[in-house]
């Protein structure tokens, strides 16, 4: 029986770590710098990025071993233009053959620091979008932006006020560490800003206020509603006030953003009995239709109120 041998392709020449390190050192000395970006090394150095990665894992590691600074200082960071970041994000997207670049993928293949991209743009997705790529945020094992928002919302309701970084660090009420928020948004303040932006993002498909009925762009829609209503009336000639068949302008579902706005307006307290999770953590707040949806009540802020679970149950018994 013929012997089958499995062999990896051999490298043409066995390159030593020292050869590479000495070359990096030489380039730094020639240029008179204590930090060299990989792009600069590629211009002046002898070895490829692949060879360096093969020997040291990352460029950063190689620099550390040589004894050079392995990160740009703030002055050097400021010199990097937004466009350079976009170009490098696009390059990595091309490299991994994807229309988006996760934070982890960038950390692996990017030429700049992923953290600093966060700092520059506030959000990872913002950088991606500006680079003309699809937003992603994080790989599956990372906590998503939405999860962060949900957690901020939960803590905010629990405290009945805007949570501080100290609440997250010292009070131990957050399921995620302060670093998780910092990593996702670039800082706690930035996380709060992103959250407020998210809450305030008006999505007409699921967030309408009564004001919308008067907006010019809704007039056509309103006309159609009136037509439908008139039609309905002819079927119910006997009773002019009959509103059976009333067409809802909003969906019954109260989305997270609208829910939070109602809770905030009501100071995170039950409108009926004043109970709040801030005083009693066992209190659960619900957002409820004042005029029930089944009776034609719309899902608009004016028709919503905050009730604790006890009062909410009491109310539905009455109705």
- Residue placing its CB nearer to Zn ion in the complex, 25 or 315: 315
- Residue placing its CB nearer to Zn ion in the complex, 132 or 314: 314
59: Cβ contacts below 8 Å, ≥ 6 apart: 38, 41, 49, 52, 53
Of the candidates 197, 216, 196, 218, the residue with the CA atom closest to the CA atom of residue 208: 218
Q: b vs e for 156-189, b when ≥16 Cβ sit within 10 Å of the residue's Cβ?
A: bbbbbeebeeebbeeeeebebebebbbbbbbbbe
Is residue 272 part of the contact set for Zn ion (CB under 5 A)?
yes
Question: Which among 26-34, 81-89, 117-125, 271-279 is the span making contact with Zn ion, rule CB under 5 A?
Answer: 271-279
| Angle between the N-to-C axes of helices 49-56 and 17-31, in degrees from 0 to 180, rounded to the nearest 10 | 120
**Per CB under 5 A, which of residues 64..83 are in contact with Zn ion?**
none
Is residue 287 part of the contact set for Zn ion (CB under 5 A)?
no
Give the count of residues interacting with Zn ion (CB under 5 A).
Answer: 6
**Per CB under 5 A, which of residues 291..310 are in contact with Zn ion?**
308
- Residue placing its CB nearer to Zn ion in the complex, 143 or 304: 304
Is residue 271 part of the contact set for Zn ion (CB under 5 A)?
no
- Residue placing its CB nearer to Zn ion in the complex, 128 or 270: 270
Choice from 20, 89, 127, 311 touching Zn ion (CB under 5 A): 311
Choice from 63, 158, 275, 304 touching Zn ion (CB under 5 A): 275
Shortest Å distance, C-beta 194 to Zn ion: 32
Is residue 52 part of the contact set for Zn ion (CB under 5 A)?
no
Of the candidates 80, 301, 299, 101, the residue with the CA atom closest to the CA atom of residue 205: 299
Is residue 273 part of the contact set for Zn ion (CB under 5 A)?
yes
> Quick one: which H or E segment has residue 313?
helix 309-318
Is residue 254 part of the contact set for Zn ion (CB under 5 A)?
no
Of the candidates 45, 140, 127, the residue with the CA atom closest to the CA atom of residue 80: 127
- Residue placing its CB nearer to Zn ion in the complex, 262 or 270: 270
Could you tell me the two tokens for 18? 């020292």
Shortest Å distance, C-beta 306 to Zn ion: 9
Shortest Å distance, C-beta 282 to Zn ion: 12
For the chain, give the number of residues.
319
Instruction: Classify burial at 31, counting beta carbons within 10 Å of its beta carbon; exposed 0-12, middle 13-18, buried 19 or more.
Output: middle
Of the candidates 251, 263, 310, 316, the residue with the CA atom closest to the CA atom of residue 287: 263
Shortest Å distance, C-beta 233 to Zn ion: 40
Is residue 270 part of the contact set for Zn ion (CB under 5 A)?
yes
Q: What is the CA radius of gyration of the chain?
A: 29
**Per CB under 5 A, which of residues 189..248 are in contact with Zn ion?**
none
Residues contributing to the site for Zn ion (CB under 5 A): 270, 272-273, 275, 308, 311
């Amino acid at each position: 029986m013929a012997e089958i041998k499995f062999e990896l392709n051999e490298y043409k020449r066995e390159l030593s770590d020292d050869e590479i390190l000495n070359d990096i050192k030489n380039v730094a000395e020639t240029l008179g710098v204590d930090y060299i970006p990989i792009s600069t090394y590629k211009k002046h150095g002898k070895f490829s990025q692949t060879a360096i990665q093969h020997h040291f894992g990352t460029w950063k590691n190689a620099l550390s071993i040589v004894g050079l600074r392995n990160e740009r200082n703030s002055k050097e960071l400021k010199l990097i233009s937004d466009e350079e970041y976009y170009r490098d994000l696009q390059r990595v997207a091309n490299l991994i053959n994807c229309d988006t670049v996760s934070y982890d993928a960038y950390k692996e293949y990017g030429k700049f620091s992923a953290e600093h991209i966060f700092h520059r743009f506030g959000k990872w997705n913002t950088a991606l979008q500006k680079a003309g790529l699809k937003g992603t945020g994080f790989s599956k094992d990372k906590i998503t932006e939405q999860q962060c928002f949900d957690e901020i919302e939960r803590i905010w309701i629990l405290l009945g006020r805007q949570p501080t970084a100290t609440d997250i660090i010292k009070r131990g009420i957050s399921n995620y560490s302060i670093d998780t928020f910092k990593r996702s948004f670039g800082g706690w303040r930035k996380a709060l800003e992103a959250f407020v932006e998210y809450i305030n993002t008006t999505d007409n498909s699921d967030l309408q206020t009564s004001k919308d009925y008067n907006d010019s762009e809704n007039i056509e829609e309103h006309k159609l509603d009136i037509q439908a209503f008139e039609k309905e009336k002819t079927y119910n000639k006997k009773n002019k006030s009959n509103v059976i068949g009333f067409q809802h302008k909003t969906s019954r579902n109260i989305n997270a953003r609208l829910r939070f706005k109602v809770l905030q307006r009501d100071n995170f307290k039950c409108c009926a009995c004043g109970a709040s999770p801030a005083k009693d953590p066992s209190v659960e707040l619900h957002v409820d239709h004042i005029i029930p949806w089944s009776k034609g009540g719309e899902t608009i802020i004016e028709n919503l109120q905050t009730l604790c679970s006890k009062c909410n149950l009491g109310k539905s018994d009455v109705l």
